Amino acid sequence: MKTRIVLGHSDNGDVFQRIHHLTEVYDAEVVTLTLDLGQGRNLEEIRDRALAAGAVRAHVLDVREEFARDFVLPVLRAGVSPAGPEPLAGALAQPLVAQKLIEIAAIEAARSVAHGETGEARTRLDTSLRALDDNILSILLPHATGVSEPAQTNLWGRVRVVTTSPAKSLDTPASVDVAFERGVPTAINGVSMAFGELIESLSTIGERHGVGRMVMTGGAVHDSPAAKDSIRVYEAPAAVILDTAHRALETAVVPQELIRIQRDQAMTYAQLVYGGRWFTETRELFDAFSARMQQMVTGTVRVKLFGGELLSSSIVEHSVAVSHP
């Protein structure tokens, strides 16, 4: 029976070349895995291309709500800023990518997984893979382009490479009311929705007004000769709106000494994410603290947007925390 390898595959890179490499070098059957993290792409087409390229099976999983619930929400509640040393969205998605690679490997009786990550992204993903299964073999494909493969764009943000300045934002001011229940965003302008759907709606609103747009400098984006003339733009409109609203509500309802502890912990929490150390007891303990603190964070915050800026945030209503003996 041939060895089986699970290939983490998006539409970046040449899937035919990658599957051919794995089948020839390792004499293996290749199973591909593509995750819908909110990229806005036709993943069924990606699945069809993988099968046409020789994959024996191609899994396509919609993990948007799982990503929002199990990875984005803890980061939001922990007070980690979406504007960090590099895009938080990609780093945050990699533990979920690792988790699904391990799950599919177990289903397919595979002891090896392959991916096209490079640099720090590769280190993060491999660290997560080892934390979940220290017997799994991680294969780095030789045809990596330098672009973060599975999770460069997702619900929590995206990186775009442009050669001209991003489009101007709307000149008309707008406001959006975000409701929270125990630290969980539950509604926009009075309309209840699942957290993943809420993020997508806020992304649309925020992008229209240029909110959460950051120009990045340094680092190779791709190997094209035009790279030196390109601009890397990190867009995280929903993340910035939710972070702003959540902080405003916390300030109104949480004792200041708890907020100070949370803010101090947030830097370490961010380091865990960027370092690929999601699956650690440290992160779980931080989440336990946040979960207890967030029991107080219920209310609605109005955020005003205009010309790429969040003008202000104000509390529409909130519940007063009650201390119990």
Complete domains list, the chain, with CATH? 3-140 (3.40.50.620), 156-254+297-318 (3.90.1260.10)
| Residue 222 scores a pLDDT above 70 | no
pLDDT tens sequence across 95-111: 999 999 999 999 999 99
Q: Which residues pair with 174 in a beta bridge?
A: 305
Average pLDDT, the chain: 86
Asked whether residue 1 carries a pLDDT value surpassing 90, the answer given is: no
- To the nearest whole percent, how much of the chain has pLDDT over 70? 86
What's the confidence (pLDDT) of residue 304?
Answer: 93
Q: Are 211 and 280 in contact (CB under 8 A)?
A: no
What is the model's pTM?
Answer: 0.88
Rounded to an integer, what distance in angstroms lies between the CA atom of residue 316 and that of residue 255? 19
pLDDT at 87: 77
pLDDT of 306-323, one tens digit each? 888 887 678 887 764 433
Q: What is the pLDDT of residues 252-310, one digit of tens each?
A: 999 999 999 999 999 999 999 999 999 999 999 999 999 999 999 999 999 999 888 88
pLDDT tens by residue, 33-78? 999 999 877 888 888 999 999 999 999 999 999 999 999 999 999 9
pLDDT per residue as tens digits for the range 186-214: 999 999 999 999 999 999 999 999 898 88
> Which residues, other chains included, contact 46 with Cβ-Cβ below 8 Å and sequence gap of 6+?
9, 10, 11, 15, 34, 60
Kind of pairing between the strands at 112-115 and 3-8: parallel
Neighbouring residues of 309: CB distance < 8 A, sequence distance ≥ 6: 211
**223 pLDDT exceeds 60?**
no
User: Which DSSP letter does residue 9 get?
Assistant: -
Mean pLDDT of 157-162: 81
At residue 226, the pLDDT reads 43
Q: Of 24-33, 78-87, 121-130, 313-322, which gets the smallest average pLDDT? A: 313-322
3-state DSSP assignment of residue 65? helix
